[in-house]
């Protein structure tokens, strides 16, 4: 797809729409918008960055972009791991960071109404002050924006009990690729009114519209919680224990996380964190949280879960009985993505989902795949409760060029994703497809589903202006 360049005249019109201070053209100011947390290997420089303050500016921008045939790439916090917010064709990056207000916490309808750039954790804290709870909780909760969670259908650690972001979105307001306003859903909780454009927008990675307002469901604040950390000598025992915990307690944990021994050791060493129990001999850890109405109920759940783990070969069971102990173990898990993205110049963050029963086989078979790749290390952590495992590909020798790394990593990732697909899985559970997984998505889904997606894109975006060539290549 060929696009026009941003001209001096275009810049002047953007300044008229957004104001002088909200239009960035200097290289040092726009460079941070050229990549996200997926790494600089996907870097593409925009020609200009504009910072929106309201939906009217966004509508005017899209009409201008269509008229001049200039691509627009919406961007949240840049915390994505699939290069969905990278301006592949240059053009205009639309930064949403200034639209960051919580507009309403409606305690009667139990919803929150937010602008797109509200940080997820800020929302969690604000509703907690009113005795309420927002259950959408991606691992990037302290930096990711609420609208970014929506357009990637972000998951995170609490999906096993509460579901992904899609489960909590009641309404959206969006600007279409042609500059029209869309009001989808609302504070209501039921609707059967034709095709669900609301559900279509969720997970669309900024290709079908630009979210300007989000309405999310709230719940009463949960009761007391307890965290358990359980080391295992091998992956297979950990996977079997994850299912045995649910069968034994007859309760879904709030969270059920998985970490391999390598990731634990790398993270604690890199960030100088206290070692976890049995770190010298454990090759896998489970970390899970139970909620209970009172301490007595929690103690009973913890005892049953611990016994279930020991029956499956756990090395030991450690109960985090204080807030400090909980924070210590969770700090290791939440720091893992930062460790691999900052320590290694070349890395590719995977996001494969398989049925929980297939996790052990999936991990075992990936080791066979990796034998053919020199200098490539595959590590694992993720959300074992819903089968969402993050295989992370690391360039441990540091000898690949950017071009060589992209080719090797994408080939290896494609093989791993195909393996997951053969085991009843899919190529992404929460990160999205973006740039890095387009080929393997087509390989695993087949041409016909991709052709349907392209048709939907064409209806929403006839000139292919909004975030083009993400999820799939438009010309293929």
Q: What is the structure's pLDDT at 143?
A: 86
The 3-state DSSP composition of the chain as helix, strand, coil percent (nearest 5) reads 40, 20, 40
> pLDDT, tens digit, for every residue of 76-123?
999 888 899 999 999 999 999 999 999 999 999 999 999 999 999 999
Predicted confidence band of residue 40 (pLDDT cuts 50, 70, 90)? confident
Tell whether the model's pLDDT for residue 355 goes beyond 80. yes
Q: In this structure, what DSSP letter does residue 232 have?
A: E
Task: Please state the rounded mean pLDDT for residues 279-306.
Answer: 93
Q: Is the CATH number of domain 8-98 3.60.40.10?
A: no
Q: What is the structure's pLDDT at 136?
A: 86
Helix (H, G, I), strand (E, B) or coil at 19: coil
Helix (H, G, I), strand (E, B) or coil at 209: coil
Task: Please state the rounded mean pLDDT for residues 250-271.
Answer: 94
Tell whether the model's pLDDT for residue 439 goes beyond 60. yes
Q: In this structure, what DSSP letter does residue 5 have?
A: P
> 102-220 and 224-325 share one CATH topology?
no
Tell whether the model's pLDDT for residue 6 goes beyond 60. yes
Q: What is the structure's pLDDT at 138?
A: 76
Predicted confidence band of residue 442 (pLDDT cuts 50, 70, 90)? very high
Give the integer Cα–Cα distance in Å for 399 and 405: 9
**CA distances (Å), 223 to each of 219, 226, 291, 293, 295, in order?**
12, 10, 6, 5, 9
Give the integer Cα–Cα distance in Å for 408 and 363: 19
Q: What is the structure's pLDDT at 293?
A: 87
Q: Average pLDDT of the chain?
A: 93
**Which of 343, 228, 247 lies closest to 288 in space, CA to CA?**
228
Tokens 């795949």, residue located: 369
> pLDDT, tens digit, for every residue of 295-322?
899 999 999 999 999 999 999 999 997 8
Tell whether the model's pLDDT for residue 476 goes beyond 60. no
Q: How many CB atoms lie within 10 A of CB 401?
A: 10
Percent of the chain with pLDDT over 90: 78
Measure CA of the first residue to CA of the last residue in the chain; give whole Å. 10
Q: In this structure, what DSSP letter does residue 58 have?
A: H
Helix (H, G, I), strand (E, B) or coil at 396: coil
Q: What is the CATH number of domain 224-325?
A: 3.30.70.2190
Q: What is the structure's pLDDT at 409?
A: 87
Q: What is the CATH number of domain 102-220?
A: 3.30.465.10
**Which of 318, 303, 289 lies closest to 223 in space, CA to CA?**
289
- The pTM (predicted TM-score) of the whole model is 0.91
- 156 Cβ neighbours under 8 A, 6+ residues apart: 136, 137, 138, 139, 141, 164, 383, 430
Tell whether the model's pLDDT for residue 7 goes beyond 90. yes
Give the integer Cα–Cα distance in Å for 22 and 32: 15
Domain regions of the chain by residue span: 8-98, 102-220, 224-325, 344-434
Percent of the chain with pLDDT over 70: 99
Tell whether the model's pLDDT for residue 203 goes beyond 90. yes
Give the integer Cα–Cα distance in Å for 241 and 356: 11
Task: Please state the rounded mean pLDDT for residues 284-293.
Answer: 93
- Relative to beta strand 210-217, strand 169-175 is antiparallel
Q: Is the CATH number of domain 344-434 3.40.190.10?
A: no
**Which of 434, 429, 467 lies closest to 39 in space, CA to CA?**
434
Two structure tokens written together for 188: 């209501």
């Amino acid at each position: 797809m060929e696009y026009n360049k941003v001209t001096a005249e275009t810049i002047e019109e953007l300044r008229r729409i957004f104001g002088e201070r909200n239009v960035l053209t200097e290289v040092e100011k726009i460079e941070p918008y050229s990549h996200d947390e997926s790494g600089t290997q996907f870097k593409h420089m925009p020609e200009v960055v504009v910072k929106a303050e309201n939906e009217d500016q966004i509508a005017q921008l899209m009409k201008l972009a269509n008229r001049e045939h200039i691509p627009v790439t919406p961007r949240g916090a840049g915390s994505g791991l699939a290069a969905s917010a990278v301006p592949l064709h240059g053009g205009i990056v639309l930064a949403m960071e200034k639209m960051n207000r919580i507009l309403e916490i409606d305690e009667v309808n139990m919803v929150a109404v937010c602008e797109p750039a509200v940080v997820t954790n800020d929302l969690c804290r604000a509703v907690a002050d009113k005795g309420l709870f927002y259950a959408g909780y991606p691992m990037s909760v302290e930096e990711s924006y609420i609208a970014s969670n929506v357009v990637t259908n972000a998951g995170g650690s609490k999906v096993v009990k509460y579901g992904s972001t899609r489960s909590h979105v009641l309404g959206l307001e969006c600007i279409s690729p042609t500059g029209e306003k869309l009001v989808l859903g609302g504070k209501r909780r039921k609707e059967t009114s034709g095709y669900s454009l609301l559900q279509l927008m969720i997970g669309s990675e900024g290709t079908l519209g630009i979210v300007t307002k989000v309405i999310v469901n709230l719940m009463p604040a949960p009761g007391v919680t307890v965290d358990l950390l359980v080391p295992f000598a091998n992956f297979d025992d950990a996977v079997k224990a994850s299912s045995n915990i649910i069968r034994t307690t007859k309760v879904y944990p709030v969270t059920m996380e998985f970490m391999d021994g390598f990731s634990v050791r790398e993270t604690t060493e890199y960030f100088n964190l206290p070692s976890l129990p049995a770190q010298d001999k454990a090759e896998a850890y489970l970390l899970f949280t139970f909620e209970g109405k009172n301490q007595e109920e929690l103690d009973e759940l913890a005892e049953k879960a611990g016994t279930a783990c020991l029956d499956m070969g756990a090395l030991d069971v450690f109960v985090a009985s204080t807030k400090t102990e909980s924070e210590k173990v969770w700090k290791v898990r939440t720091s893992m993505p930062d460790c691999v993205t900052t320590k290694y110049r070349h890395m590719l963050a995977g996001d494969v989902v398989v049925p929980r029963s297939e996790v052990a086989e999936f991990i075992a078979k990936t080791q066979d795949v990796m034998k053919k790749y020199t200098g490539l290390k595959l590590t694992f952590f993720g959300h074992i409760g819903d089968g969402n495992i993050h295989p992370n590909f690391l360039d441990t020798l540091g000898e690949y060029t950017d071009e060589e790394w992209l080719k090797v990593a994408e080939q290896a990732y494609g093989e791993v994703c195909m393996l997951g697909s053969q085991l009843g899985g899919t190529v992404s559970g929460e990160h999205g497809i973006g740039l890095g997984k387009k080929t393997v998505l087509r390989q695993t889904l087949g041409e016909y589903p991709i052709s349907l997606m392209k048709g939907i894109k064409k209806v929403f975006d006839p000139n292919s202006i909004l975030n083009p060539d993400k999820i799939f290549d438009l010309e293929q």
